[in-house]
Amino acid sequence: MKEINQYKEKNVLVLGLAKSGTATAELLHNLGANVTVNDRSPIEDNEQAQYLISKGITVIGGSHPLSLLDQKVDVIFKNPGIPYSNPLLKVAMEKEISILTEVELAYQISEAPYIAITGSNGKTTTTTIINEILATDEKKPLVAGNIGNVSVEVAQNAENDNVMVTELSSFQLMGIETFRPKIAILLNIFEAHLDYHGSLGEYGKAKARIFMNQTKEDYTVVNVDDEIVMELVKEASSTIIPFSTTRKVDGAYIEDGIVYFQGESIIKVDEIVLPGKHNLENILAAISAVKLYGGSNESIIHVLTSFTGVKHRLQFVDRINERKFYNDSKATNILSTQAALSSFDENVILLAGGLDRGNDFDELIPYLKNVKSLITFGETALKLINTAEAAGIKHIKHVDNVEKAVPVAYEMSESGDVILLSPACASWDQYKTFEQRGDIFINAVHKLK
């Protein structure tokens, strides 16, 4: 860990506990800062709060009182999920107080270089593939960010022969100042988190911060098939490495069924076991980063011929009596379910439904051509039934939950069918997380045996 002194004797406010807030507060305290932690939840029964108090750190809970800014505050580290519309943060911005996320602190102390990945979809899959390949090559990758452990915890143990492979959200990137990855990846930009950012333009600007501090010695890997990405990257000072599934580029591309990187043949597409065109984009991005970092073709081939997907992200679960089961519980929006449905040529029995966010599902209709049956659940069940009827799907069932949907799907299926959980909705109407929803699906599949 780099020894840094910029927070010594500084008054630092950490907004939001959880894992990242707790780790950030403890590290800042160890770096000599005067730390106050504020969380809107009560602290009496909060183990993380009590742990920090035992370390001599002030913790204030129950709300975000503006009085916290009555005394001098030099810098705020906030939980990425807390919006800038929060009244305390609005006052902080008026006072021109720096508002950072723990990704910035992790970068400041890390001795290892960074490969950073962002985009609307595919971040976790791309990050995982890069990590798997670099680990096979014994490049000592450390996964951090939105997956794996909290960045500041990982960075404290990172040495110069490691590489930080970090998945970053737009929320996290809003809170950086000096963060400069050696390799940045911008996968795609779709409408997402507009309630947080206000507009697609502001969301794109947040994503583009991933390369804002890079120079010509650094690399930005970009999807040339995404017009918004290509518009944003015009502002980059880094060396641009393109990838494309549709044309030959001076980066990663596909030609005659073979994946190439800058003219070098890497692997045949039909040898890759992870399904879906969208995953080919993720794979091309990952190959680009790995090759730029000195990874070998042998390790790329080894991983891509065995990697079946990140859990809950179009994850192959099992084959039972020639039916294939896929868990795509992470598909919490229509776009993700469109991508999943586009991944299969076989007949699909789709399991979908969940939290009603007020939208309809007409945008799914063009993607339902191979869906022979729909089994729906949750608050959006009726809307999805209407969509399925409009698409001409003849076999539609409404069940109480995911666990009951699995045996019903199996009974409705035939040899060769794909049974796909891809809800197109958040899980919070019935489940705490999409992970819980996916785990219930997996357990229900295994019960069929």
Tokens 């049974």 found at: 419
Q: Which residues pair with 141 in a beta bridge?
A: 163
**Neighbour tally for 188: CB within 10 Å:** 22
Q: Give the three-state DSSP class for 241.
A: strand
User: How far, in Å, CA of 447 to CA of 403, rounded?
Assistant: 10
Task: Quote the tokens at residue 82.
Answer: 């807390």
User: How far, in Å, CA of 132 to CA of 274, rounded?
Assistant: 14
Could you list the beta-strand ranges (E) of 171-313.
183-186, 219-223, 239-244, 252-255, 258-261, 264-268
User: How far, in Å, CA of 331 to CA of 333, rounded?
Assistant: 6
User: How far, in Å, CA of 19 to CA of 83, rounded?
Assistant: 18
Q: At what angle do helices 434-448 and 402-412 cross, to 10 degrees?
A: 40
Query: Which helix (H) or strand (E) covers residue 77, if one does?
Result: strand 75-78
What lies within 8 Å, CB to CB, of 94 at 6+ separation is: none
Cβ proximity of 52 and 59 under 8 Å: yes
Cβ proximity of 353 and 384 under 8 Å: yes
Q: Is residue 121 part of an annotated ligand binding site? A: yes
Q: Is residue 125 part of an annotated ligand binding site? A: yes
Q: Is residue 120 part of an annotated ligand binding site? A: yes
Task: Quote the tokens at residue 207.
Answer: 């994503």
Q: From the CA atom positions of the chain, what is the Rg in Å?
A: 23
Backbone angles phi, psi at 143, to 5 degrees: -85, 135
The Cβ-side half-sphere exposure at 329, using a 13 Å CA radius, reads 22
> What is the 3-state secondary structure of 363-409?
HHHHHCCCEEEEEECCCCHHHHHHHHHHCCCCEEEECCCHHHHHHHH
User: How far, in Å, CA of 281 to CA of 288, rounded?
Assistant: 11
Q: Is residue 61 part of an annotated ligand binding site? A: no
Task: Quote the tokens at residue 361.
Answer: 């599902």
What DSSP line would sit under 102-155, residue for residue?
HHHHHHHH--S-EEEEE-SS-HHHHHHHHHHHHHHTT--EEEEETSSB-HHHHH
User: How far, in Å, CA of 141 to CA of 7, rounded?
Assistant: 28
What residues are designated binding site? Answer: 119-125
Where is the binding site for ATP, in residues? 119-125
